[in-house]
Chain A
Amino acid sequence: MLKLQQVKIARAGQTLLQVPELTVAPGKVGMIMGPSGSGKSTLLLWLLGQAPATFDIAGQLSLNDQDITQQEVSARRIGMLFQSSLLFPHMSVEQNLLFALPRRAPYQSCAARLARVETLLAAVALADKRKAMPDTLSGGEQARVALLRALINEPKALLLDEPFAALDQHRREEVRQWTFEQIAQWQIPALMVSHDLQDRPALAQQRGPLLSIGNAATHLVQE
């Protein structure tokens, strides 16, 4: 359960964005919509733990009823997906995933770690790309590996910053559905920033709250 309370983002004394309360349940995808410059990407960075110093941000963030507002990025265990896949270019697909795989039981032996990576890759039909370098993959493949990398880390929540904007039209629908399925399957609360209403999950059981930021006011739709 991801919960935001009384979040307010301001720059140079001017309030950009206000969220009184927003809760996303595990497996659902909440969505924030708004024009560029409305502070929605800044909100995601703040949730991640790395807010730009040029903004004044107040508020409270809790994950599973634990206040994590003061925690560092690496302690929060919140995953993030950007518009570009940001796979580490100097590591193969397998190495990218191994890097993200937690070093705790049951992933402590080499064999167990490799097996885990292989299983997951096979599940998304990328088993043959295990040794490939990221720049040799297609856009859709990169998006899938990037999501897998975020999920394999077993995050407590997932943030998505316009994750489908860089994909072409028919690929977008496919990756979108697949992403929401994975999120539902892993039972992770997710929050997505987008300015395309079509990015919203089609299935009601995958839908979280929708927060639209307009010029006049912030409008919240709870599902």
Chain B
Amino acid sequence: MIKASRLFTPTAVISLLGLIILPLGLALLAFGQKLSGVTAAELHTFSHAPGLGAATLYSLALALLAPLLACYWALAFSARSSAKVVAWLSPLLSIPHLAFAVGMVFLFSPSGWIVRVLHEVSGAFAAPPDWALLPERSFITLLVVLILKEVPFLLLMIFSACSQLPIERYRQLGQSLGYSASASWWQLVVPELLRRLTLPMAAVMIYSLSVVDIPLLVGPNLPGVLAQEVFAWQRDFSLAAAVNGLLGSVLLLLLALGLLGVNRLHQPLYHWLLVRVWRHGWVLPRLLAWLGRGAMVVARIWLPLMFVLGLGVLLSLLVWSLAAGWFYPRWLPAGLNAEVWVREWPFVRPMIWTTLSLAIASACVALVAALACLEAQHKEGRVWPQWPMLLALLAPQLPLVMGWQYSFSFYQLTPHLGWVFWAHCVFAFPYAYLVLAGDYQRYDRRWLLVGQSLGYSPWRCWFTLLLPMLRRPVLYGWVIAFSVSVAQYLPTQLLGAGRIITLTTEAVNVSSGGDRQLLSFYALWQFILPLVALLAVTVYLALASRRHNA
């Protein structure tokens, strides 16, 4: 008879095979095969593709700037924050990037809500201004959206790392040596934090490099970022475009490798600079110090800012989806009606169903896989390095999905809901793992030992003791995995051959039609699903802890 407690290791092995080794292996094999057929002429055509240089530059700049700015913003924010903030991060993490981007454009574009309100108040903008807070489509808009959405993820990682460090003692030590609280944060804590942030930062960089759906919506046009160009080639029918797509994704892979290298230099560089400062006894010029202090204050408005933005985004999507005739410069629509809701309901219903079932199922698989891996690590008695679990985040998504597509066509597999589901699991798993890992590894295993000494099997103890005690991170891990699945664009579109339509793929499709009302309707639904999942979990946890304290 197999003991139930021995199920962890096989489950972990199956998870690693199915969610890490298979996806990466398939993609690598496919690229190997495809690349062997590329000729020098094709390489030449590719290197002269119009806009390639600019697209590459855009992509590199985006993949470096967004994560680094988000990183220092998050570090500045967490310098004075208590770990209580963590509770507020999940709602922000669960907002889908796409819906957020659409809402941001509705708010900040030249004809957006804010300019309209300004006009209403001052009468200054009878026509949409040439400048705007955020142009409808531009590199800056893309950058801002990515930064705002990457901060909560990095904050979660920072707080998780902080809970393993004696932060308070560092701070006291620094202050006893005459450093201010913020100086001891930046000079004592941050170098250590940056070391622990290497992996999450790598994931964020790779995401920024290969994200496609956000640039399709708000990114620059002609050329767009590299991932967007490659995606366009991939969807083109001509043979030349297909080859360009292949070579483009190889270029993405090379850039990704370069970025991983740069990322590894980040912490040593920071440290090296600090040592310079200590050795030479440099003091920040007064002006810079003032600026720095100002920046720290600004950084602290991030949390309220995000809540205001999140609500603003939700509201603008809702109002737009209900608006009847809302032309510039009116600051409110002429009327509200549910026409779009009524008309689109028969179309959106099956999409909600598809999105929901994919998200629920893949979040469950991701969670079970993450739990099995974490438990198996313990059984083996040593802590595995984290990067293998996160490989799906460390490989750019577009080449990965294209590799799968190549191998499916090679093995003559038809596009299928099953493949889309599998891909969602692959991408949801590392997030579930990341959200859970910190609390799981800190869990005091002596509780399980006490349970066993009272006569309960290890399996029973795991279920009745560990799982209920960790229900908060477990449930939030599930919600994050759920929202990652809801937000998946590329794998759904490419592996489903455009036939599997979720709220996300439909929102991107609709955006090319330029109908704001329709777009807001689908973006709103994409926003609502994770929000409902999160609310359900939060309410459940609140009720459970009320019962617990009663």
Residues of B within 8 A of A82 (CB): 446, 450
Are B452 and A50 in contact, CB atoms less than 8 angstroms apart?
Answer: yes
**Which residue in chain B gives the minimum CB-CB distance to A131?**
B550
Give Cα A133 to B549, complex, Å: 7
Interface string of A43-59 (1 = CB under 8 A from B): 00000111011100000
B310 at interface (Cβ–Cβ under 8 A)? no
Are B454 and A90 in contact, CB atoms less than 8 angstroms apart?
Answer: no
Distance in Å from the Cβ of A96 to the closest Cβ of chain B?
10
Residues of A within 8 A of B37 (CB): none
Stretch at the interface among A71-79, A121-129, A211-219: A71-79
Cβ-defined partner of A74 (8 Å) among B446, B447, B456, B464: B456
Give Cα A150 to B453, complex, Å: 9
B457 at interface (Cβ–Cβ under 8 A)? yes
Are B454 and A153 in contact, CB atoms less than 8 angstroms apart?
Answer: yes
Give Cα A170 to B42, complex, Å: 85
B178 at interface (Cβ–Cβ under 8 A)? no
B465 at interface (Cβ–Cβ under 8 A)? yes
A202 at interface (Cβ–Cβ under 8 A)? no
Are A73 and B446 in contact, CB atoms less than 8 angstroms apart?
Answer: no
Distance in Å from the Cβ of B130 to the closest Cβ of chain A?
60
B468 at interface (Cβ–Cβ under 8 A)? yes
Are A74 and B548 in contact, CB atoms less than 8 angstroms apart?
Answer: no
Give Cα A54 to B381, complex, Å: 9
Interface string of A191-214 (1 = CB under 8 A from B): 000000000000000000000000
B17 at interface (Cβ–Cβ under 8 A)? no
Cβ-defined partner of B469 (8 Å) among A78, A80, A90, A100: A90
Contact A99 B449, CB 8 Å, known A53-B381, A88-B465, A133-B548: no
Give Cα A54 to B382, complex, Å: 10
Of residues A74, A77, A133, A150, which shows the largest number of chain B Cβ atoms within 10 Å of its Cβ?
A: A74
Within A28-52, the residues touching B (CB, 8 Å) are 48-50, 52
B458 at interface (Cβ–Cβ under 8 A)? yes
Are B453 and A80 in contact, CB atoms less than 8 angstroms apart?
Answer: yes
**Which residue in chain B gives the minimum CB-CB distance to A80?**
B453
Q: How large is the interface on A (under 10, 10 to 19, 20 to 34, 35 or more residues)?
A: 20 to 34
B455 at interface (Cβ–Cβ under 8 A)? yes
A20 at interface (Cβ–Cβ under 8 A)? no
Residues of B within 8 A of A153 (CB): 453-455
A102 at interface (Cβ–Cβ under 8 A)? yes
Residues of B within 8 A of A86 (CB): 444, 446-447, 450
Interface string of A133-167 (1 = CB under 8 A from B): 10000000000000001100101000000000000
Within B436-477, the residues touching A (CB, 8 Å) are 444, 446-447, 449-458, 464-465, 468-469
Residues of B within 8 A of A102 (CB): 455
Distance in Å from the Cβ of B6 to the closest Cβ of chain A?
12
Residues of B within 8 A of A77 (CB): 455
Cβ-defined partner of B453 (8 Å) among A48, A54, A99: A48
Residues of A within 8 A of B451 (CB): 88, 99
Of residues B444, B446, B454, which shows the largest number of chain A Cβ atoms within 10 Å of its Cβ?
A: B454
**Which residue in chain A gives the minimum CB-CB distance to B447?**
A86
Within A79-138, the residues touching B (CB, 8 Å) are 79-80, 82, 86, 88-90, 99-100, 102, 133
Give Cα A221 to B458, complex, Å: 37
Residues of A within 8 A of B381 (CB): 52-54
Residues of B within 8 A of A52 (CB): 381
Residues of B within 8 A of A73 (CB): 449, 452-453, 458
Contact A88 B447, CB 8 Å, known A74-B457, A74-B458, A133-B549: yes
Give Cα A74 to B5, complex, Å: 13
Of residues B447, B453, B456, B465, which shows the largest number of chain A Cβ atoms within 10 Å of its Cβ?
A: B453
Cβ-defined partner of A79 (8 Å) among B453, B464, B465: B453
Residues of B within 8 A of A99 (CB): 451, 454, 464
Residues of B within 8 A of A89 (CB): 469
Are A80 and B455 in contact, CB atoms less than 8 angstroms apart?
Answer: no
Are B453 and A78 in contact, CB atoms less than 8 angstroms apart?
Answer: yes
Interface string of A2-29 (1 = CB under 8 A from B): 0000000000000000000000000000
Distance in Å from the Cβ of A45 to the closest Cβ of chain B?
8
**Which residue in chain B gives the minimum CB-CB distance to A45?**
B449
Are B458 and A80 in contact, CB atoms less than 8 angstroms apart?
Answer: no
Are B447 and A80 in contact, CB atoms less than 8 angstroms apart?
Answer: no
Give Cα A50 to B445, complex, Å: 11
**Which residue in chain B gives the minimum CB-CB distance to A155?**
B453
Distance in Å from the Cβ of A110 to the closest Cβ of chain B?
18
Give Cα A52 to B456, complex, Å: 20
Give Cα A52 to B450, complex, Å: 15
Distance in Å from the Cβ of A67 to the closest Cβ of chain B?
19
**Which residue in chain A gives the minimum CB-CB distance to B382?**
A53
Give Cα A74 to B23, complex, Å: 40
Residues of B within 8 A of A74 (CB): 452-453, 455-458
**Which residue in chain A gives the minimum CB-CB distance to B456?**
A74
Give Cα A1 to B333, complex, Å: 85
Lowest 5 CB-CB distances: which A-B pairs, in order?
Answer: A73-B452, A53-B381, A74-B452, A100-B454, A153-B454
- 7 A-B residue pairs with Cβ-Cβ distance under 8 Å, sorted by A, are A50-B452, A73-B453, A73-B458, A74-B453, A74-B457, A99-B454, A155-B453
A contacts, CB < 8 Å to B: 48-50, 52-54, 72-74, 76-80, 82, 86, 88-90, 99-100, 102, 133, 149-150, 153, 155
B contacts, CB < 8 Å to A: 381, 444, 446-447, 449-458, 464-465, 468-469, 548-549
Q: A86-B446, A88-B469, A102-B455 are in contact. List 15 more A-B contacts (CB 8 A).
A: A48-B453, A49-B453, A52-B381, A73-B449, A73-B452, A74-B455, A74-B458, A80-B453, A82-B446, A82-B450, A86-B447, A86-B450, A90-B468, A150-B454, A153-B455
